[in-house]
Amino acid sequence: MNLLYHLRIYRREHLALPAGLWMLFALMVAFARMDDGRACEMACTFLGFVLPLMAGILAASAIVDDPVLELQLAAPRAPWRILVERLAVLLGIVALAALAYQVYLGAMGIDLTGLGNPAARQLAWLVPSLALMGLSSLVALALVQGTGGALLVGLLWLLQILARGWFVASPWARYLFLFMRVRYADHPALAANELCLLGLGMLLVIDAGWLLRKTERYL
């Protein structure tokens, strides 16, 4: 029930943006269908790059832009629950977009086996989405400003794409590389990288929830 209301009050762009991007990439794949390599490339771009970026940007405004935050925080419940519930709703939207897209790809006859078996494939969008959502909600709460979180996520995303060669080669940065599965699915450090990013994502969300305890900062 509670989550249903969360969904309703999500400002329009929070639903329009995923839907719009979904449609755009569905069209692009349809046009590129003749060329199997390009179609697959586009599908990976949507799942592994576009969806996580969008999740990160939307997570930044999950809390700090809420017009009713004072009442939300005055309710007799732990403040971190607001954060977790909203991120869960957002993750649900992302998951829906990702899964629907894969069904669509199946119908179009586009092959994604390069990303692993159907279950492992989900990590391609889940891992970077979670990591970026954690980062952006933490930064947004630390700065008490949504744009700060979104901006940082955008910069990091761009940096990782531009310097992907360095990230993969570096003995430590490779564990923080967001796009391992979509770019280097057969890298030996793939499992460690995903585990590391998942753990980090969770840690960032926990930190963000902890920041929210000091409610007066957000009034």
Partner 1 sequence: MDIQITALSKTYGSGRSAVRALRGVDLTIGEGMFGLLGPNGAGKTTLMRILAGLVNPTSGRVMVAGHDLSTERGKVAVKAMLGYLPQELGLYPELTARQFLDYMAILKGLDDVRTRRARVDRTLEMAGLADVADRRLKGFSGGMKRRVGIAQALLNDPRILIVDEPTAGLDPEERIRFRNLLVDLASDRIVILSTHIVEDICQTCRDMAVLDRGLVRFRGSPADLIARARGVVWQIRTENGHKPDGGLVVVSTLQLANGVRYRVVGRDASAHPGAEPAQPSLEDGYVWLMQAKDALPGGE
Tracing tokens 């004072």 back to the chain, one arrives at 70
34 binds partner 1 (CB under 8 A): no
Q: Between residues 68 and 169, which has the closer beta carbon with respect to partner 1?
A: 68
Distance CA 39, CA 197 (A): 28
Selected binder of partner 1 within 19, 23, 24, 74 (CB under 8 A): 74
Helices 80-108, 2-9: inter-axial angle, 10-degree rounding: 70
- Identify the residue among 45, 72, 145, 147 touching partner 1 (CB under 8 A): 72
**Are 173 and 167 within 8 A, CB to CB?**
yes
Binder of partner 1 out of 17, 21, 28, 69 (CB under 8 A): 69
Residue pair 94/129 in contact by the 8 Å Cβ criterion: yes
Question: What tokens appear for 210 in the block?
Answer: 């902890």
**Comparison of 12 and 107: residue with beta carbon closer to partner 1:** 12
x/- track of binding to partner 1 for residues 200-219 (CB under 8 A): --------------xxx--x
* Whole-angstrom distance, CA of residue 114 vs CA of residue 5: 38
Binding site for partner 1 (CB under 8 A): 1-2, 5, 8-9, 66-78, 214-216, 219
